[in-house]
């Protein structure tokens, strides 16, 4: 295994941030650590990068224990949430800054820096000051500054959280394209489930300092290992009780119709979201959310009586 986190632990006064965490990352893989604020995901990333010393456990890269190697000597590079760019330097100076410590000549530094500028689409911005750049452009500079170091592992800590929704979508695609093109092993920390589902090879879902599940986006979405994973990733309905277990069904896995014979319910609310119309339907167990593809929507209204059905293959017992 390329990167291994073995029994990593970190405790602060009155709180265990990371609790005996074990995680393995394949070479060239983009693995997202997904979880709510305060679950320990950033602490984990910082222990991998050497910015925080673990209380116990090991960070092993290519079979070598790097747990005690200082951050500046580790073969990792980090893109922080705040980007951490130098405001007194222009774009190319920011990108080339770390190369000084590799003792490269000025010309070689510029060649490598300009190559990265081209990769992130900022070549015309070479001599601009950081203050002249938009949030998305600053994010690209931070990414180029990390990649120019040719790290064995790229660490991204909520890199898109400061961008607006449209720019987040664009940068998500660009990061994935760069990561795939360069084949760089990447740990990507986020609290955004949609972001993790769309960008990752695998996802590690984290809660209260522990990993709840590791799997492909398809697996963690369609086969959640716990109620926490089911609720945190996407929307889900819980139907039933103690006797048959709690059935977990995604809104898009439920069919709605006027035909009697299935579970009856009354529409309490409808929400048009573009591709789908979401209906909130009151049944005997409570409120169920149902997503109907817009082309199939029959225009039901609040107080209409409808009937719900779903196949057993689309349900999970939690």
Note the pLDDT tens digit of each residue in 86-128: 889 999 999 999 888 888 888 999 999 999 999 999 999 999 9
Pairwise CA distance, residues 35 & 31, whole Å: 13
Pairwise CA distance, residues 120 & 135, whole Å: 14
- The confidence band for 315, taking pLDDT boundaries of 50, 70 and 90, is low
Question: Could you report the per-residue pLDDT of 200-227, keeping only the tens digit for each?
Answer: 999 999 999 999 999 999 999 999 999 9
Domain 3-228, CATH class in plain words: alpha beta
Question: Could you report the per-residue pLDDT of 179-207, keeping only the tens digit for each?
Answer: 999 999 999 999 999 999 999 999 999 99
Q: What is the dihedral of CA 92, 94, 97, 99, to 10 degrees?
A: -50
The CATH architecture one would assign to domain 244-317 is: Beta Barrel (2.40)
- Average pLDDT of the residues in 5-17: 96
Are 97 and 89 contacting, i.e. CB atoms less than 8 angstroms apart?
yes
How much is the pLDDT for 124? Answer: 92
According to DSSP H, which parts of the chain are helical? Answer: 41-49, 91-96, 106-119, 135-147, 165-182, 193-199, 217-222, 227-232
How much is the pLDDT for 246? Answer: 73
The structural domains of the chain, with segments of one domain joined by +, span: 3-228, 244-317
How much is the pLDDT for 9? Answer: 97
SS3 content of the chain, % helix, strand, coil (to 5): 30, 35, 35
Question: Could you report the per-residue pLDDT of 269-293, keeping only the tens digit for each?
Answer: 999 999 999 999 999 888 999 999 9
Judging by DSSP bridges, how do beta strands 76-79 and 237-241 pair with one another? unpaired
Residue of 154, 230, 287, 206 whose CA lies nearest to 42: 206
The two domains 3-228 and 244-317 share their CATH topology (first three levels equal): no
């Amino acid at each position: 295994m390329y990167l291994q986190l073995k029994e990593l632990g970190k405790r602060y006064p009155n709180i265990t941030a990371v609790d005996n965490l074990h995680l393995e990352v394949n070479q060239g893989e983009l693995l997202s650590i997904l979880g709510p604020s305060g679950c320990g995901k950033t602490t984990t990333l910082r222990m991998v990068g050497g910015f925080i010393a673990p209380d116990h456990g090991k960070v092993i890269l290519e079979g070598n224990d790097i747990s005690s190697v200082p951050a500046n000597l580790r073969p990792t590079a980090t893109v922080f949430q705040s980007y951490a760019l130098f405001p007194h330097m222009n774009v190319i100076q920011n990108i080339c800054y770390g190369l000084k410590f590799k003792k490269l000549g000025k010309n070689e530094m510029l060649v490598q820096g300009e190559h990265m500028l081209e990769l992130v689409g900022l070549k015309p911005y070479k001599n601009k000051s950081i203050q002249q750049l938009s949030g998305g452009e600053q994010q690209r500079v931070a990414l180029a500054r990390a990649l120019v170091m040719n790290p064995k592992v790229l660490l991204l800590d909520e890199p898109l959280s400061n961008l607006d929704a449209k720019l987040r979508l664009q940068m998500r695609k660009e990061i994935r394209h760069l990561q795939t093109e360069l084949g760089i092993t990447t740990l990507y920390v986020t609290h955004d489930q949609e972001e993790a589902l769309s960008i990752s090879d695998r996802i590690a879902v984290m809660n209260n300092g522990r990993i709840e599940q590791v799997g492909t986006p398809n697996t963690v979405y369609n086969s959640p290992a716990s109620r926490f994973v089911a609720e945190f990733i996407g929307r889900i309905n819980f139907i039933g009780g103690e006797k048959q277990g709690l059935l977990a069904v995604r809104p898009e896995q439920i069919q709605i119709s006027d035909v009697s014979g299935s579970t009856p319910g009354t529409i309490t609310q409808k929400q048009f979201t573009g591709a789908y119309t979401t209906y909130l339907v009151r049944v005997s167990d409570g409120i169920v959310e149902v997503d109907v593809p817009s082309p199939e929507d029959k225009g039901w209204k609040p107080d209409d009586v409808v009937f719900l059905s779903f196949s057993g293959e689309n349900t999970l017992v939690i």
